[in-house]
Amino acid sequence: MHLYKSQPLKVYNSLKGKKEIFESISEGYVGMYVCGPTVYSNVHLGNCRTFMSFDMIFRYLKHLGYKVRYVRNITDAGHLENDADEGEDKIAKKARLERIEPMEVVQRYTVDFHTILQKFNFLPPSIEPTATGHIIEQIEIIKDIIEKGFAYEINGSVYFDVPKFNESHNYGKLSGRKLEDMISNTRELASQDEKKSPQDFALWKKAETQHIMRWPSPWGDGFPGWHLECTAMSTKYLGETFDIHGGGMDLKFPHHECEIAQAEASNGVSPVKYWMHANMLTMNGKKMAKSTGNNILPEEIFTGNNDILSKAFTPTVVRFFMMQAHYTSILDLSNDALLASEKGYSKLMDAIGAIDAINTSDSSSIDVVSWRQKCYDAMNDDFNSPTLIAHLFEAVKHINTLKEHKATITESDKNLLKATLNAFIFDVLGLENKNVSSADNDKLPDVVSLLIQLRKEARDNKDFATSDKIRDQLAALGIQLKDGKDGTTFSVS
């Protein structure tokens, strides 16, 4: 029997504003769509957190025995600089500034996206469609929405008629906004004059002469609206209604609100049963932003090449850090938080490594079955990874008492304990066992300190060839040196 039949799952549905028992539309099957990146720059660490949350959700659904079709798109056209259908396409702008083809931009940052996610040990989605690969589907949806009276064409652009839609539907039901309030709080802008209402949004935008990303359509050369792309790709691969639609909290309005409107206008049905939204990542108590300098890229964390953290941290330690907060909670990144996560991760891996050597007995003083169910209860409560991790550390305490012969365990309970830890730590949380053994760890600092001293002497003697050789050969072994005003430190990846 599949686990999902004996482990009822609750999820927080943003559309209803409450937790609900999860019941898939088709028994045993789950369709899940998550809004992917717009590939015009290196993937943002905050975006990694969102994708990691849904990777964990994907993993747990699979662990419960569901067959999951997970669709996560790549936006490679149509995402303008703001939500008012103004400005340049983000990818086209990057291409213009760097004087390269837009698809060179797309290729470069799609590769970066995949590389970073692989380092974080993500499972690949079932399907990863691109917006430019689905222009025909988007045009067909626009034609359908126009035919049903919820969109209009003007000057080569097509806009969704929000007030008209709201007469028979509820625009704003996901975000809790009322159209009347939105209208009263809107200032008319000259660039919005061709729209019937400032709340209307673009389904298709006319490509001006200088716009380098363009496709032919019944309304002239242009490019699709950002919101429309997700509607086209999600319904193509998951159907008119599917189980889960995920994304960051910042996408709830207007992006996801517009997706609902487009789907209901075109298909006449609400497209998604459970809307799920992951919260943001801050750093040192402040919003992460390039403009303020309060920003760090994943690779800068892995290499230690930054002025924010005291050392480098491995991808699996960063992943463990992110799993320690509920996906709907704001998570704050800091040096102290990562150091604490590194220590906790090491304790977890040491415990995993110690299980096989534990002697068994005729009876157990530890209730492994009850502990195992507590792990499931945590994940069944809207994927509560921090509570799960607390239970995993209960197991660490049990393992330590068993090592000290202060508790007993049977062979079957030992096997159940090991299997459960492996399932939740590696299969569900997606961690990897890359811990340095404690014996090696005891000797490593002294050995590296000796090499750091030899490197310093070489640099003082202006023997830079030897200095660089020590640094490069340590790096090849996964040991990164970081020079600072207080001396040289190292980290192991």
63: nearest Cα among 469, 324, 425, 472: 425
The pLDDT value given to residue 442 = 58
CB 218 within 8 A of CB 157: no
CA angle 213, 249, 73 (to 5 degrees): 40
The pLDDT value given to residue 436 = 47
CATH 2.40.30.20: does it fit domain 316-428? no
Does position 74 have pLDDT exceeding 90, yes or no?
A: yes
Kindly state the helix (H) or strand (E) to which residue 332 belongs, with its residue range: strand 331-333
The pLDDT value given to residue 187 = 53
Separation of alpha carbons 196 and 50, rounded Å: 35
With bands split at pLDDT 50, 70 and 90, how would you rate the model's confidence at 290? confident
Residues 6+ apart with CB under 8 A from 143: 218
Map tokens 């068994």 to a residue. Answer: 360
Separation of alpha carbons 392 and 424, rounded Å: 8
The percent of residues above 90 in pLDDT, for the chain, comes to 78
Does position 83 have pLDDT exceeding 80, yes or no?
A: no
Between 275 and 82, the more confident residue is 275
Does position 167 have pLDDT exceeding 60, yes or no?
A: yes
The pLDDT value given to residue 438 = 41
Between 33 and 463, the more confident residue is 33
Between 473 and 409, the more confident residue is 409
The pLDDT value given to residue 188 = 52
Taking all residues of the chain, what is their mean pLDDT, rounded to a whole number?
93
Does position 337 have pLDDT exceeding 50, yes or no?
A: yes
Please name every residue paired with 183 in a beta bridge, in sequence order, or none if there are none: none
Does position 137 have pLDDT exceeding 90, yes or no?
A: yes
Separation of alpha carbons 247 and 402, rounded Å: 43
279 phi/psi in degrees, rounded to 5? -90, 180
CB 296 within 8 A of CB 45: yes
**Count of CB atoms within 10 A of residue 298's CB?**
21
Separation of alpha carbons 223 and 202, rounded Å: 10
Domain boundaries, the chain: 3-278, 316-428, 438-492
Alpha helices in 304-437 (DSSP H): 315-323, 335-354, 368-380, 385-403, 411-422
Alpha helices in 355-409 (DSSP H): 368-380, 385-403
Residues 6+ apart with CB under 8 A from 334: 283, 284, 285
Does position 268 have pLDDT exceeding 50, yes or no?
A: yes
Please name every residue paired with 19 in a beta bridge, in sequence order, or none if there are none: 12
CA distances, 381 to each of 9, 325, 388 (Å)? 6, 14, 10
Which CATH class for the 3-278 domain?
Answer: alpha beta
Work out the average pLDDT over 42-61: 97
> pTM of the entire structure?
0.87
The pLDDT value given to residue 437 = 42
The pLDDT value given to residue 441 = 53
Work out the average pLDDT over 424-438: 84
User: Computed from CA positions of residues 427, 430, 431, 432, in that sequence, does the dihedral angle turn out positive or negative?
Assistant: positive
Question: What pLDDT digit, counting tens, does each position of 224-255 carry?
Answer: 999 999 999 999 999 999 999 999 999 999 99
CB 250 within 8 A of CB 82: no
Does position 439 have pLDDT exceeding 50, yes or no?
A: no
CA distances, 275 to each of 59, 235, 271, 278 (Å)? 18, 15, 10, 10
Separation of alpha carbons 396 and 350, rounded Å: 9
The pLDDT value given to residue 446 = 78
Work out the average pLDDT over 291-297: 88
Helix (H, G, I), strand (E, B) or coil at 89: strand
Q: 242-248 and 29-34 as β-strands: parallel, antiparallel, unpaired?
A: parallel
With bands split at pLDDT 50, 70 and 90, how would you rate the model's confidence at 259? very high
Does position 135 have pLDDT exceeding 70, yes or no?
A: yes
Question: What pLDDT digit, counting tens, does each position of 172-215 carry?
Answer: 999 999 998 888 766 554 444 799 999 999 999 999 888 889 99
The pLDDT value given to residue 488 = 87
Give CA torsion, residues 47, 48, 52, 54, to 10 deg: 20
Residues 6+ apart with CB under 8 A from 32: 54, 57, 58, 61, 68, 69, 70, 71, 238, 242, 243, 244, 245, 246
Question: What pLDDT digit, counting tens, does each position of 358-406 carry?
Answer: 999 999 999 999 999 999 999 999 999 999 999 999 999 999 999 999 9
The pLDDT value given to residue 487 = 81
The pLDDT value given to residue 465 = 86
Separation of alpha carbons 245 and 36, rounded Å: 11
Question: What pLDDT digit, counting tens, does each position of 452-463 carry?
Answer: 988 988 888 888
